[in-house]
Structure 1
Amino acid sequence: MKKLLSYVLITGTTIVLVVGLGGCNRDATADVGTAGASSAATPAAVPVIRGPEYGDVLSTTPVHKTVEHPRQVCQDVVVNHTEPPKDQHDIAGTAIGAVAGGLLGHMVGHGKGQTVATVVGAVGGGYAGNRIEAAHQQAQVTSTVEHQCNTVNETSSEIVGYDVKYVYNGVTHVTRMDHDPGSHIRLQ
């Protein structure tokens, strides 16, 4: 209310001064009544010079922006490689088992029973040899150290401006500025 009263008083004083100065600048011949004063200066409007105007800041809110900063992170990692066994089908164990079983079966029987015992021994020995070799075969595991790199995004927040809420002539306004104006904002 005090500011409004101040503005009214300043404006009224300015108007009185302008009108008063306008009366002082009249040509003297105009008062006497001589109409030959075409070269006389007419009263010019005195420009009103005002200083900058300010609004009262009610609040200032920083405006943030999230920024990503990618960076590379490298480390040495132990990597295990598994190679399958050389004889994946256990052929060697099957063959050795069949020969051994066939020999044992041949030693057991006589006549036609000997042939049947040889075949049964070969089949049983082959199966047993296959299982024994499968149980004893293991995959070849080798370990190596590898240098591995990954990109990691780190985020940060930075202030990109300020939303300023202010009052001017009793009206509330909001504007975005690149700096914090403090308690008063200069108006254009």
Structure 2
Amino acid sequence: MAVVGTLAVVGVGYGGYKAVSGDANRYAEVVKVEPATKSYQEPEQRCQQVTVQRQKPVKDKHQITGSAIGAVVGGVIGHQFGGGSGKDAATAAGAIAGGYAGNKTQERMQEGNTYTTTEERCQTVMNTRTEKNGYNVTYRLDGQTRTVRMDDEPGDRLPVENGQVVTD
């Protein structure tokens, strides 16, 4: 019984102390709560499959075969014209023109010799990430408005001890 009486006296004494000190049942009014965030950039690689057209490898990149065949055909056609030394000149001119035409014909054929394939193309993009890292809490105490950072979202009021707001 003596212990209960002692605890009662101590409790009443502490309550009286709090009443005298002015902080008993005293709270600061929470005026505004805003989430505090932190933003940062994070790289992300994005890949996709794309269809592309490629030129097949060329075996005769100087078009020698086309030039040779064109020269022979041109020479044969040129040989059909003229007579005497004119026939020789027509054959030579036909061979030159045929060689050039055969070269260009083979070049166009090689350019059109393509195949279609699928390739993976990737690019790095920067994504903005935002994460919450607490709360900016604005409160009013003794006619003054202040802001403090807190880990957790408070309620409508904050307790006051020894004239200071308790934020833990």
TM-score (norm 1): 0.57
Q: 1:172: which partner in 2?
A: 145
Q: Spell out the pairing of 1:92-131 with structure 2 (5 A cutoff).
A: 92-131=65-104
- Does structure 2 conserve the Cα–Cα contact (< 8 Å) formed by 1:85 and 1:139? no
The two structures, once aligned, show a CA RMSD in angstroms of 3.3
Q: Give SS of 1:135's match.
A: helix
Q: Spell out the pairing of 1:29-178 with structure 2 (5 A cutoff).
A: 49-50=17-18, 51=24, 53-66=26-39, 76-146=49-119, 155-178=128-151
**In 2, Cα distance between the equivalents of 1:65 and 1:142?**
50
Larger % of strand: which? 2
Q: Deviations over 1:28-57 (max 9, x none)?
A: xxxxxxxxxxxxxxxxxxxx7324642122
Max Rg structure: 1
Q: CA offset at residue 185 of structure 1?
A: 0.9
User: Which 5+ residue runs of structure 1 have no aligned equivalent?
Assistant: 1-47
**In 2, Cα distance between the equivalents of 1:66 and 1:103?**
79
Q: Deviations over 1:139-171 (max 9, x none)?
A: 443333456666666555433222222222222
Higher relative contact order (CA 8 A, sep 6+): 2
Q: CA offset at residue 96 of structure 1?
A: 1.5
Query: Identity over the aligned pairs, expressed in percent?
Result: 40
Question: Structure 1 56/81 Cα, relative in aligned 2: closer, same or farther at 3 Å?
Answer: same
Q: Give SS of 2:154's match.
A: coil
Q: CA offset at residue 71 of structure 1?
A: 6.3
Letter in 2 for 1:172: T
Q: CA offset at residue 112 of structure 1?
A: 2.0
Q: Give SS of 2:17's match.
A: coil
**In 2, Cα distance between the equivalents of 1:124 and 1:167?**
98
Q: Deviations over 1:97-119 (max 9, x none)?
A: 21222233334333222222222
Q: Give SS of 1:65's match.
A: strand
TM-score (norm 2): 0.63
Question: Structure 1 185/147 Cα, relative in aligned 2: closer, same or farther at 3 Å?
Answer: same
**In 2, Cα distance between the equivalents of 1:147 and 1:132?**
34
Count of residues in correspondence between the two structures:
142
